[in-house]
Amino acid sequence: MTERKPPGVSWESWFEEQIRQAQEAGAFENLPGAGKPLPDLEAAYDPDWWVKKLVRVLALNAEIAKVNARAAEGPATRLGLLDIEGIVEDWRARSSRSA
């Protein structure tokens, strides 16, 4: 969706048109998870769910571990894996101070 909303067209109409074009192009066919329930749908609401999902970068932790294990020239790399709960706790503390 790279084109801009034309002047005089409501946001709703413009979005609906973008969706219609994507449907016609097959953009919504064979998506992973189609027909399956949403994950964590029955879990209790967590207002920080988005922060935790943002930080839960298992791929990043795997990459950090791979870089740490690789012998390379120059100074040693000793990046630690991300502490998700610690990051969220720090974020909460900063958010409560600024509120």
pLDDT tens digits along 67-87: 778 766 667 777 788 887 888
Domain that holds residue 28: 1-36
**43 and 82 assigned to the same domain:** yes
- Rounded distance between C-alpha atoms, residue 26 and residue 19, angstroms: 10
Q: With cut-offs at 50, 70 and 90, classify the pLDDT of residue 88.
A: confident
What is the C-alpha separation between 81 and 21, in angstroms, rounded? 42
- The answer to whether residues 60 and 92 belong to one domain is yes
pLDDT at 25 over 80: yes
Cα distance between residue 26 and residue 1, in whole Å: 14
Cα distances from 91 to residues 48, 56, 73, in angstroms, run 10, 14, 35
Distance between CA atoms of 12 and 19, rounded to whole angstroms? 11
Give the pLDDT confidence score for residue 17 in this predicted structure.
93
pLDDT reading at 2 higher than 60 = no
Q: Do 47 and 69 sit in the same domain of this protein? A: yes
Residues 29, 59, single domain; the answer is no
Q: pLDDT band at residue 13, thresholds of 50, 70 and 90? A: very high
